[in-house]
Amino acid sequence: MPLKPLLPQKMAPAGLLTRRREPLLAALIAVLILLVGWRAPSFLTTRSMDNLLTDSAVLIMLALTQMLVIVTRGVDLSVASNLALSGMMSALLAMHFPQLPVAVVIAAALCIGLALGLINGWLIGYLSLPPIVVTLGSMSVYRGLVFVLSGGAWVSSRNMPADFIAFPLARLGGLTHLVWLAALAVAVLWYAARHTRFGRDLYAIGNDPVAAGYVGIAAPQRLFWTYGLSGAMAGLCGYLWVARYAVAYTEIAYGFELTVIAACVIGGISIAGGVGNISGAVLGALFLAVINNALPMVQISPFWQSALTGLVILSAVIINARGEKKRHKQILPLHFQADTAHVARSAP
Amino acid sequence: ADKVRIAMVVKSLGNGFFDAAHEGAREAAKQLGDVDIIYTGPTTPTAEGQIEIVNSLISQKVDAIVISANDASALVPITKKAMQRGIKVLSFDSGIARAGRLMQLNPSNAELIGVKQIQMASDAIGGAGEIAILSATAQATNQNIWIGEMKKALTRPEFSKIRLIATVYGDDQSDKSYREAIGLLRSNPNLKAIIAPTTVGINAAGKAVVDEKLVGKVYVTGLGLPSEMAGHVKSGAVKSFAIWNPIDLGYAVTYAAYQFVKGKAQGKDGESISVGRMGSIKLDAEGEAALAPPFTYDAGNVDKFARIF
Amino acid sequence: MSSITDTASAKAATNTATTAPRTSRYQISERGSFRAADLLRHWETLLGLLLIAVFCINCLLLPHFFDLTNLADSTFNFSEKALIALPMALLIICREIDISVSAIIALSSVTMGLANHYGVPAYGLFFVGIATGVACGLLNGLLVTRFALPSIVVTIGSMSLFRGLASVVLGDQAFTNYPELLSDWGQGYFFDVLPRPFAVLIVAAAVFALLLHGTTWGRRIYAIGNNPVAARFSGIAVDRYRLMLFVLTGAMAGLAACLLTGRIGSTRPNIALGWELEIITVVILGGVSIAGGAGTMGGVLLAILTLGMVTYGLALANIPGIIMTIVVGVLLLTTIAAPRLLRGKSSR
Amino acid sequence: MSISVMPVPGALQPPLAPAPAFTPEVLEFPASASAAMAPVLELSGIGKRFQGIVALRDVGFSVRPGEVMALLGENGAGKSTLVKILTGIHRPDEGVIRLAGQAVSFATPQAAMQAGITAVHQETVMFEELTVAENICIGRQPLCGLPPRIDWRRMEEEARQLFARLEVDLPVQARVKDLSVAQRHFVEIARALSQRAQVVIMDEPTAALSQREIRELYRIIAQLRAAGTAVIFISHKFDEIFAVADRYTVLRDGRFIAAGALADISEPQLVALMVGREVGQVFPHHGQTPETAGAPVLEVENFSHPTEFHEVSFSLRRGEVIGFYGLVGAGRSELMQALFGLSPAAHGKVLIDGKPIHVNSPAEAIAHGIAYVPEDRQHQGALLSLPIFQNITLPILSGIGFFLRRHRRRELDIARRLSEQLELKATHFHQQVAQLSGGNQQKVVLAKWLATNPRVIILDEPTKGIDIGSKAAVHRFISELVQQGLAVILVSSELPEVLGMADRVVVMHQGTVQKVFSRAEATPELLVAAASGNLPSATGSDPINSDKETMSCH
Ligand SMILES: Nc1ncnc2c1ncn2[C@@H]1O[C@H](COP(=O)(O)OP(=O)(O)OP(=O)(O)O)[C@@H](O)[C@H]1O
Ligand SMILES: Nc1ncnc2c1ncn2[C@@H]1O[C@H](COP(=O)(O)OP(=O)(O)OP(=O)(O)O)[C@@H](O)[C@H]1O
Ligand SMILES: [Mg+2]
Ligand SMILES: [Mg+2]
């Protein structure tokens, strides 16, 4: 005898609720942009929007790979330090070998980031050490190495070849390379997360690491490469950051890892693992980028910025939590509820 | 005999300005012969970090500490303790409050720095228009002093057509400074100049002006090191900027510290202290002395100095 | 009233012991047999050995190290952080974490400055500082328990909020001119030898060790960290304990703020920047499991001292702070990875 | 109000399983044609140790195609370890596995799967956020195109076909987190069957299934068998074993003990092989009659919860065992947890000794003398890495004294008394509970609740996954409790247990009480019918829902 299908009528509200989060966030971003535009009309110009996109590119890219890491129940606190280290190394490379084509420098930055990420991945995947501890440690080590390598000195625009600096903001079809790279990263990672075994395995690991082992998912190897990916993205962003602001020094992107994680959290990616998607990460990053870009424009006192960001993060997680709130599994047929409600009302 | 050990404590390591000052200190040490320089500073520019360092310097019983303070008052207790243990404490660049040091060597005097920056902005924009300030963190002592002086200078009749419309903070982070600069440019279409009395800020503002294709319409000026600013002068975003000579500053303060260690200086009001090749400096009623006025760099001389600091 | 009945039931339980004598087929001894080799497996033993090694190496290499006044003075560098590490250890044992502690210090210090400005007497400032900490901890705790949010997410947000509020109040100003009493506590000595903050730390550590290892209260914290659901099913008010620990952490951060403010005599919004990571690092080095349920106060105290000696030694050797961060990072990574590597890959 | 479930004619007679009710009746499996065939899987000399603990030594057996082999043994005998070795999760320390005559060794679970060995593990292997189809195919989703991407359409289609073949109706696009426990089990079974496996292993697959679903499973096993697949079936329930299996293999303490055809052996003989000693009566009733039972201790009236259960009323007397029977998901656990103060949304009247009480937290429930032994030992019961004695004294800590160090003696005495009473097998009291075998962990949890000296003890599936010997011990223990004057609520999905132990049986269906049966009334058929909501006289016997006016809401 076939089992009775329990689901269809039960699924609908729950499904809607989870599926409603991203459009909600997107709408929120739109409203925010309009509000800012109302206070400062110049915010709504195409140039300003173009700048907003360019500005959010790095955050989006980092949020994407951080999301994959968080989906596996991990966290990568070392991204900002990795970014600084790979950025500094690529700048030093370009400074000492100015004739190197930019593509080579970018590839070098990517590889350095990858290597740094794989160190994390090895410790976390193959030695099964807790991600938060490992990346906390490597975060200090990488940041310190920036200082050691550069001797504490700046690499400034004078030392960088022109094409090294020009690449991130150069335009292709009206959009900056930064935006294209971010779009490419979104497309590739969306594909990876949604349509490859690699990506699906990450969700499985995040949902239940032990069970993932039982169905033959090679979790160590998957984690190794996930942190590698996060590192490689940090490496790429390291070059982009350094080239875009035309300066490299020890403290670049100090504390940026928390912004990246905040973007993921706002995007509805559960820190408990197994839940989250690319659009959430992108929207979360965009949301923060809009706030960061809007605050200087609406003449809010600079002293309020950090407090407002904190408030925004807290409200976002609370709103997310409401949606997530453990739904009761509703085993009673619906008419019972109606009944109880009715009785409750008629009771004196 | 034992060498004289002078520790130079800077705001944070990895800052080109202080590296140049260290250069000057080494020059003085070489000239004096029996001096060892300990160059150190915290990772992040915080007072707590500097206190830890001064603590360990006290333990090492160094002879003198020259320090550029992250917080004028927070360091007073610890440097007082150092002085009680017989260590000569001098501050330079960003000072410690009177009670916590024997003397303070200002790179230049604050008023001069303030006026200089307004003057440069005024020259760049033809004496009239809107300007804005992009500072480091809201807590940076000397930044705030200079901003105060700039505001005072703006009340002078020759700058009456210049209007300061905003002061923003980039926290010495390239991304935030850049974003703030863009914000200034976007929300103030009539903006003519951005003054950034900090190297990260002036760099970011210069890059923002180039990226916004506003070179020639908006000028960036302020304080920066030639080596870090040369690129922006070339791009045209920066017409001129100023800085005092950090090498001389490091040299002079080290030399003065040596005089204190040797008992040739006491730090009394009006006292005159010899500082080697720089001649001598004279302390004022607050125990402060100033070196030369800031020096202006522009397309004509920046390349020459970029090779030095 | 529940405790009264509990007493009754416990008594009754002892009574039935005598009424229902029974002999089991199995003998259970009280403790496992003692083996000296087991001692070596304790994390605390290893830390103790490490501390001795660090101490000896420092004594040999650094001429100014073994000097009682210097050693006493070196405790100023870590006493405040260590004060927060104590409740942080409890939080982590309980499977929670608080990233906002250093921001709480900033906010507490600011409210103390405000209170001082409005003429609150010296002793009142301690009250104000600690009360602010309690309020911040309460906010964190309520958000975590009421909305069932992960504490890492909540405290990332509240970190930004608290420090932001400090900056809103202070702007580009600083509070100074604190009363003598405060600096007496922040940088004074007992009997001219024992630094007061260190004395406070020793007392606090003793109290915490007693609470955690000797009382029902500590037992329940372990139980919650071990299995929150089972703990709740066993009649433990899990959320109340969590809330209490957040409040306690806030209070200790407030106390640390009092000492720190006293020590440096001034308040700026960037006070104690980045301390949270140092504090968490020391707790993890102390053998507290980031997964909860395991760790001892002795371990944490040993880690505090070890790290204090390491950094003090490095400072005496005039090694720049940023290199120290590398050393600490490597120390953290090796101490957690070494046991795993020595034991070899876990066999399947 | 009338209960909306109308007796549907024929609903009691599911088309595939002709008999409507529980009975360990043997389904007509096609006669095993495999006796003469060569074994598809052969093990010999398998040994495995975990950090010095020997889990298996020198174990060997074989299975032939189209044969169902029952793997039997007490808790901790090493059955699951063997399964994990066969599926490539653990690597054996020694021994040979031969698959169709070839010696094999599996580096990964994937390799075992590809070689044709799949398993439904004892632990749930489920990814809540993924869809049903993906849960089935995870790690080996069908790919298409270049660069290769997951062919979602094909994957879902294959899953749909699989369910069609198994004649189970499940939406393949639903997320697993929205499924019921039983539905999840079928997803796991479908995963094991999704590859044309030569050997399918089922490690206690029926633990969370209702009778009806168990029959579904039997049918699937019959299908497999007909298709020539070898099945290894692990269960602690003998009725199931005799219903589906052809042969048996018994393990004890990690060693091979015996093997043979089930037709040649009786249940007591099997039990003796497994346990190595006499077990005695499995369902020892405590012997008290309703007349000898005391005054009501616990009375529950119109107890409701917005989503989980509705207007539940019953009463419980001293020295009585009341059984709660229902299908998984009937809401029994939720009801019990609400009584224990774990679900603030519940409302209604609860009386202890005739006095109304309000229980808002487990601590209050304990104070009122209620104890609840939860169904999920791993997650709700034991604190696995704490020492034994700390587990036992956890709920009564405040009764011991704030400074525990000073009362260490007392704490250990309590632990010792209870452990001896329960015949706990452990080496010392500072041992972590995680080091104990499953049955002994359960005893620690029981000891914990007995330490609170309760008057009402709620046992939620106390024998789930427990071997026959321990089960008998638990039942004996329940009888003893009752004789000492405790009142027991026994929640169980196992009919023999409910019928054997309870004085009265409350049957729940979809959050409502269907009927309360006395011991004399209760028959397997009636209980199953009531639990499925198909009680013929449901509308007539509805004393519980008729007194609506007394309902108290707050
Ligand atoms: N990963 C492991 N680490 C250490 N010991 C283990 C591990 N897995 C199993 N054991 C031990 O191996 C023995 C066999 O356990 P196993 O799970 O195979 O028993 P089982 O026969 O399946 O019992 P049950 O009927 O309770 O499921 C037990 O003593 C158990 O404690
Ligand atoms: N429709 C459903 N959707 C999701 N989960 C469910 C559903 N039904 C039951 N469950 C899960 O199955 C478990 C058992 O359900 P519940 O406790 O309500 O029933 P029960 O009759 O007490 O079952 P048991 O026989 O296991 O005690 C619950 O923990 C719940 O998480
Ligand atoms: Mg098993
Ligand atoms: Mg249940």
**To which residue do tokens 């032990």 refer?**
A210
Shortest-distance Cα residue to atom 19 of ligand 2: D329
Q: Which chain A residue shows the shortest CA-CA distance from D303?
A: A340
* Contact assessment for residue C329 and residue A139, using Cβ atoms and an 8 Å cutoff: yes
Region D65-69: mean pLDDT is: 92
Note whether A314 contacts C171, CB cutoff 8 Å: no
φ/ψ of D173, rounded to 5, equals -95, -5
**What per-residue confidence (pLDDT) applies to C348?**
54
Residues 316-345 of D with CB under 8 A from C: 340, 342
Nearest one of D501, D509, D504 to D529, comparing CA atoms: D509
Distance CA D445, CA D433 (A): 10
Over residues A106-150, the pLDDT tens digits come to 999 999 999 999 999 999 999 989 999 999 999 999 999 999 999
Over residues A34-47, the pLDDT tens digits come to 988 888 888 888 88
Give the distance from residue C335's alpha carbon to the nearest chain A alpha carbon, in angstroms.
Answer: 11
Would you call C171 an interface residue with chain B, using a CB distance cutoff of 8 Å? yes
Distance CA C286, CA C299 (A): 4
* Cα-Cα-Cα-Cα dihedral sign, residues D101, D105, D111, D117: positive
Taken in order of first residue, the domains within chain A and their CATH numbers are: 18-338 (1.10.3470.10)
Q: What's the D89 CA to ligand 4 centre distance in angstroms?
A: 29
DSSP conformation letters of D408-470: HHHHHHHHHHHHHHHT---SBTTSBGGGS-HHHHHHHHHHHHHTT--SEEEEESTTTT--HHH
Would you call C67 an interface residue with chain B, using a CB distance cutoff of 8 Å? yes
* Contact assessment for residue B75 and residue B47, using Cβ atoms and an 8 Å cutoff: yes
Lookup: tokens for D552: 């108290």
**What per-residue confidence (pLDDT) applies to A347?**
36
Distance CA D302, CA D322 (A): 18
Note whether C148 contacts A321, CB cutoff 8 Å: yes
**What per-residue confidence (pLDDT) applies to D293?**
63
Note whether C10 contacts D417, CB cutoff 8 Å: no
CA distances, D476 to each of D250, D275, D495 (Å): 25, 17, 17
Bridge partners of residue D202, in order along the sequence: D120, D233
Contacting residues of A for D112, CB less than 8 Å apart: 216
Shortest-distance Cα residue to atom 26 of ligand 2: D328
Would you call C13 an interface residue with chain B, using a CB distance cutoff of 8 Å? no
Would you call C274 an interface residue with chain B, using a CB distance cutoff of 8 Å? yes
Distance CA D326, CA C207 (A): 51
Q: How many C-alpha atoms does A95 have within 13 Å on its Cβ side?
A: 20
**To which residue do tokens 């004695």 refer?**
D389
**What per-residue confidence (pLDDT) applies to C15?**
44
Q: Determine if the peptide bond prior to B294 is cis (ω within 30°).
A: no
D6 pLDDT higher than 50: no
- Nearest bound ligand to the CA of residue A14: 2
Distance CA A279, CA A276 (A): 9
D538 pLDDT higher than 50: no
Strands D296-304 and D255-261: unpaired
- Nearest bound ligand to the CA of residue D79: 1
Shortest-distance Cα residue to atom 16 of ligand 2: D329
Region C198-202: mean pLDDT is: 95
Q: Looking at beta carbons, which pairs linking D5-8 to residues 24 or more positions away fall under 8 Å?
A: D5/D509, D5/D533, D5/D534, D5/D538, D7/D534, D7/D535, D7/D536, D7/D538, D8/D534
Would you call C338 an interface residue with chain A, using a CB distance cutoff of 8 Å? no
CA distances, D132 to each of A320, D137, D142 (Å): 25, 9, 15
**What per-residue confidence (pLDDT) applies to D553?**
34
Contacting residues of C for A306, CB less than 8 Å apart: 160-161, 163-164, 167
Residues 443-462 of D with CB under 8 A from C: 448, 450-453
Instruction: Choose, out of C318, C324, C325, C328, the residue to mutate when testing the contact with B (most B CBs < 10 Å).
Output: C318
Distance CA D69, CA D121 (A): 16
The percent of residues in chain D predicted with pLDDT above 70, rounded, is: 87
Place C82 in a pLDDT band, splitting at 50, 70 and 90: very high
Bridge partners of residue A291, in order along the sequence: none
Over residues D465-492, the pLDDT tens digits come to 778 887 888 888 888 888 888 899 999 8
Distance CA C46, CA C57 (A): 16
**What per-residue confidence (pLDDT) applies to A338?**
35
pTM above threshold 0.80: yes
Note whether D180 contacts A5, CB cutoff 8 Å: no
Note whether B74 contacts C321, CB cutoff 8 Å: no
> Which of C163, C333, C340 is the closest to A306 by Cβ?
C163
Note whether B187 contacts A251, CB cutoff 8 Å: no
* Contact assessment for residue D282 and residue D265, using Cβ atoms and an 8 Å cutoff: no
Pick from D80, D122, D235, D474 the residue to mutate for probing ligand 1's pocket: most ligand atoms within 8 Å of its CB: D80
**To which residue do tokens 């610890």 refer?**
B78
> Which of B38, B61, B73 is the closest to C318 by Cβ?
B38
Distance CA A70, CA A257 (A): 13
Region A154-181: mean pLDDT is: 90
Q: How many C-alpha atoms does C214 have within 13 Å on its Cβ side?
A: 10
**What per-residue confidence (pLDDT) applies to D469?**
80
Shortest-distance Cα residue to atom 5 of ligand 2: D180
Place D3 in a pLDDT band, splitting at 50, 70 and 90: very low
DSSP conformation letters of D469-492: HHHHHHHHHHHHHHHTT-EEEEE-
Exposed/middle/buried for residue A154 (C-beta within 10 Å: 0-12, 13-18, 19+): buried
Nearest one of B169, B234, B239, B164 to B204, comparing CA atoms: B169
Q: Which chain B residue shows the shortest CA-CA distance from C73?
A: B55
Region C296-320: mean pLDDT is: 92
Instruction: Choose, out of C102, C110, C139, C161, the residue to mutate when testing the contact with A (most A CBs < 10 Å).
Output: C161
**What per-residue confidence (pLDDT) applies to D15?**
36
Q: Which chain B residue shows the shortest CA-CA distance from A249?
A: B14
CA distances, B86 to each of B9, B58, B102, D318 (Å): 17, 9, 12, 85
Contacting residues of D for C145, CB less than 8 Å apart: none
Chains with at least 3 CB pairs less than 8 angstroms from chain B: A, C
SS3 of residue B9 by DSSP:
strand
Q: What's the A208 CA to ligand 1 centre distance in angstroms?
A: 20
Region D184-212: mean pLDDT is: 85
* Contact assessment for residue A272 and residue A326, using Cβ atoms and an 8 Å cutoff: no
> Which of C150, C164, C323 is the closest to A271 by Cβ?
C150
Over residues D418-462, the pLDDT tens digits come to 888 877 888 888 888 887 877 788 889 989 998 888 999 999 988
* Cα-Cα-Cα-Cα dihedral sign, residues B175, B181, B187, B189: negative
**To which residue do tokens 């040993």 refer?**
C302
Mean pLDDT estimate for chain A: 84
Contacting residues of A for D510, CB less than 8 Å apart: 331-333
> Which of B16, B138, B229 is the closest to A153 by Cβ?
B16
Over residues A184-222, the pLDDT tens digits come to 999 999 999 999 999 999 999 999 998 998 888 989 999
* Contact assessment for residue C182 and residue C262, using Cβ atoms and an 8 Å cutoff: yes
**What per-residue confidence (pLDDT) applies to D14?**
35
* Contact assessment for residue A274 and residue A206, using Cβ atoms and an 8 Å cutoff: yes
ipTM comes to 0.86
**To which residue do tokens 């800012």 refer?**
A36
Distance CA B286, CA B272 (A): 14
Pick from D129, D170, D310, D333 the residue to mutate for probing ligand 2's pocket: most ligand atoms within 8 Å of its CB: D333
Cβ contacts of residue C197 below 8 Å, gap of 6+? C75, C76, C79, C80, C83, C185, C186, C187, C259, C263
Place A322 in a pLDDT band, splitting at 50, 70 and 90: low
Contacting residues of C for B53, CB less than 8 Å apart: 315, 321
Amino acid at D65: P
Nearest one of B49, B62, B48 to B90, comparing CA atoms: B62
Would you call C236 an interface residue with chain D, using a CB distance cutoff of 8 Å? yes
Region C271-281: mean pLDDT is: 90
Bridge partners of residue D63, in order along the sequence: D41
Would you call C155 an interface residue with chain A, using a CB distance cutoff of 8 Å? no
Taken in order of first residue, the domains within chain C and their CATH numbers are: 73-272 (1.10.3470.10)
Bridge partners of residue B168, in order along the sequence: B134
Interface A-B: count of C-beta contacts within 8 A: 104
Interface A-D: count of C-beta contacts within 8 A: 145
Note whether C269 contacts B139, CB cutoff 8 Å: yes
Note whether C170 contacts A303, CB cutoff 8 Å: yes
Shortest-distance Cα residue to atom 2 of ligand 2: D180
Q: Tens of pLDDT along chain B (309 residues)?
A: 578 999 999 988 877 888 889 999 999 999 998 899 999 988 778 888 899 999 999 999 999 999 998 888 889 989 999 999 999 999 998 888 888 899 998 888 888 888 889 999 998 888 889 999 998 887 777 788 889 999 999 998 888 899 999 898 888 888 889 989 988 888 888 999 999 988 889 989 998 998 888 888 999 999 888 888 888 888 888 888 988 888 889 999 999 999 999 988 887 888 888 888 888 888 888 888 887 778 888 888 888 888 877
φ/ψ of D255, rounded to 5, equals -115, 155
Note whether B43 contacts C263, CB cutoff 8 Å: no
Over residues D254-306, the pLDDT tens digits come to 889 989 999 988 888 888 888 776 666 667 776 666 556 678 889 999 998 88
Q: Encode burial over D423-460: b for 16+ CB neighbours within 10 A, e otherwise.
A: bbbbbebbbebeebbbbbbbbbbbbbbbbbbbbbbbbb
**What per-residue confidence (pLDDT) applies to A238?**
96
* Contact assessment for residue D297 and residue D315, using Cβ atoms and an 8 Å cutoff: no
Bridge partners of residue A40, in order along the sequence: none
Amino acid at C252: M
Residues 119-158 of B with CB under 8 A from A: 138
Instruction: Tell me how far the alpha carbon of residue B99 is from its chain's centroid.
Output: 21
**What per-residue confidence (pLDDT) applies to D150?**
92
> Which of D141, D170, D306 is the closest to A340 by Cβ?
D306
